[in-house]
Chain A
């Protein structure tokens, strides 16, 4: 192709490099499949996640019964419950990561761009929040506000932004030293416009990578909370609470532990691979 007419921007280039990686295609495909399944299966299945069935307790996974993943101790279809678990876990992971990206980017750009005393104040706040023991805090919050699903989002999001804020601050300081920032100011743009048009786009690659790697850590954290009984309220299930339920039955009915754990592990693995592939694809040093 004539290089004059191509005009391949940094985003197109990153996308091309992303697609060139086999692990990235696999991770994205598998993740897409899981997302499709967890959207479709609960809608198509005759079973729901909540209704107990006293005649179908502890059915082993089999094709003929129609209970492909078997049933649990209350006779609920494990396939539907696992798919609901995936939904909840992914939802928590994505929503909490979004919250943390929004707070982290705003906080980090402000600190890195303004610098000086503001920077000191903002980053010391982050240091203080880092030192708050998190699990006791969530327990206290749940005691105060009751077992609220939304609280899990907010609590996780409110803490995982700390890393992003630190990384974004450092990167903003690096970007600020480039002369295109000075050039934009010399062009008469005001600070908010400079941040929006020139700082944020240059941060985005890093933030995307970091957010992709935050999703699995949030999912694992939610699994931990659910495993401790602090997560989603029964009968709703997340992968963490399913693993916790399964762990109680693991001697008699190991499939109750293995299946949700396998889904949890697959999702985490795919997201980690995706994050790595994005990091490679968005790395400016690959030019």
Chain B
């Protein structure tokens, strides 16, 4: 499962980080007060790195990616800081953001069904960004588009260019949207659950395409998913989000083998294991994801946590517990004890 792209050496330059997120909060005004989609989130993306973000539906993952691009819409209230190579993006002018979008930071969306405009041919959709940002001629944009279709392993790219989205399968559409995001050779690729809407076999193909692209282009990525398998194949570092906050972050091996937050531990336990006999019931975390408009004052996971105690009335800070692992939990138990608490 481990990906081959990890062989790319991390650049050891002293300059500002590729993408540095500090204390990012996104909230919306709701009928019952503000809805906090993302709260005080810190992320660091290195050159050529791949950062995984995992969480349940509604834990703020998509809002986070949209916030990085400044696409949250006028109703959103953002605070904190998002720095791209040292340049602050929160509060940057719309023109500056538009110049970065697609050119430096590109995004792949969750649903390939609706991510392509049904009235434009594949050639038109692919060349749009390149003609806009790189001022390529029609012909140059087309040959670049064909090149990229080849890169995402679509056969007969020249014929595909003339087709329309409804003539392609779901997996092919998703690969087209990936090609679209890569047209201007961005430095950062934001992947919003790119495999969620696809069949399992197609998921594997798309993941394969994504990691081979990371190998050949060296594009850095933020990979949002709720699929641990997909994340293991792509990411080097992982942030676990719950109710808009990071509850655990660190190197992916560390989090997979020794999760220190009960939520991470529960999530990993709920994965069906192929190497063990199938249990009668799949393990699940009891309870519902919290309502983002009415979060409890303390730890948001407390109502569902098997290890809840009086200290959980206060919100735990995200603290470094291992050299490469930060956890926001009061329990401070070693990983095996937390796993025990679930069973």
Binding site for B on A (CB under 8 A): 3-11, 116, 178-180, 182-190, 193, 197-198, 201-202, 204, 284, 287
Q: A11-B119, A180-B114, A186-B106 are in contact. List 4 more A-B contacts (CB 8 A).
A: A3-B167, A182-B66, A186-B181, A188-B133
Cα A182 to Cα B167 with chains together (Å):
22
Residues in A whose Cβ lies below 8 Å from that of B163: 4, 6-7
- A202 and B180 form a contact (CB under 8 A): no
* Among all A-B residue pairs, the 7 with the closest Cβ atoms: A7-B162, A188-B102, A187-B102, A188-B101, A201-B119, A186-B107, A187-B129
Could you say which of A187, A197, A201 contacts B180, with CB atoms under 8 Å apart? A187
- A179 and B111 form a contact (CB under 8 A): yes
Residues in A whose Cβ lies below 8 Å from that of B30: none
Q: Nearest chain A CB to B117's CB is how many angstroms away? A: 4
Cα A202 to Cα B177 with chains together (Å):
19
Cα A287 to Cα B113 with chains together (Å):
13
Residues in A whose Cβ lies below 8 Å from that of B276: none
Q: Nearest chain B CB to A81's CB is how many angstroms away? A: 44
Residues in A whose Cβ lies below 8 Å from that of B166: 10, 287
Residues in B whose Cβ lies below 8 Å from that of A9: 119, 121, 164
Q: Decide yes or no whether B103 CB sits under 8 A from chain A.
A: yes
Cα A11 to Cα B119 with chains together (Å):
8
Cα A178 to Cα B177 with chains together (Å):
14
Q: Nearest chain A CB to B297's CB is how many angstroms away? A: 32
- A183 and B180 form a contact (CB under 8 A): yes
What 1/0 flags go to B104-135 for Cβ under 8 Å of A?
Answer: 00110111001111111100000011001100
18 A-B pairs (CB sep. < 8 Å): A4-B160, A4-B163, A7-B159, A7-B164, A9-B121, A10-B164, A178-B114, A182-B109, A183-B109, A183-B116, A186-B71, A186-B109, A187-B106, A188-B103, A188-B133, A189-B98, A198-B120, A284-B118
Residues in A whose Cβ lies below 8 Å from that of B278: none
- B167 and A180 form a contact (CB under 8 A): no
Q: Decide yes or no whether B26 CB sits under 8 A from chain A.
A: no
- A187 and B132 form a contact (CB under 8 A): yes
Residues in A whose Cβ lies below 8 Å from that of B111: 179
- B120 and A201 form a contact (CB under 8 A): yes
- A179 and B119 form a contact (CB under 8 A): no
Cα A255 to Cα B94 with chains together (Å):
67
Chain B's closest residue to A198 (CB) is B117
Could you say which of B106, B164, B181 contacts A8, with CB atoms under 8 Å apart? B164
Residues in A whose Cβ lies below 8 Å from that of B71: 182, 185-186
Q: Decide yes or no whether B293 CB sits under 8 A from chain A.
A: no
- A202 and B159 form a contact (CB under 8 A): no
- B74 and A202 form a contact (CB under 8 A): no
Q: Nearest chain B CB to A120's CB is how many angstroms away? A: 14
Residues in B whose Cβ lies below 8 Å from that of A6: 163, 167
Q: Decide yes or no whether B69 CB sits under 8 A from chain A.
A: yes
Q: Nearest chain A CB to B298's CB is how many angstroms away? A: 35
- A10 and B119 form a contact (CB under 8 A): yes
Those of B173-231 within 8 Å (CB) of chain A? 177, 180-181, 190
Cα A96 to Cα B102 with chains together (Å):
41
Cα A189 to Cα B133 with chains together (Å):
9
- A5 and B114 form a contact (CB under 8 A): no
Q: Nearest chain B CB to A71's CB is how many angstroms away? A: 52
Residues in B whose Cβ lies below 8 Å from that of A183: 107, 109, 115-116, 177, 180
Residues in B whose Cβ lies below 8 Å from that of A201: 117, 119-120
Cα A198 to Cα B118 with chains together (Å):
9
Cα A187 to Cα B131 with chains together (Å):
11
Could you say which of B100, B118, B119, B159 contacts A188, with CB atoms under 8 Å apart? B100
Residues in A whose Cβ lies below 8 Å from that of B100: 188
Q: Nearest chain B CB to A228's CB is how many angstroms away? A: 43
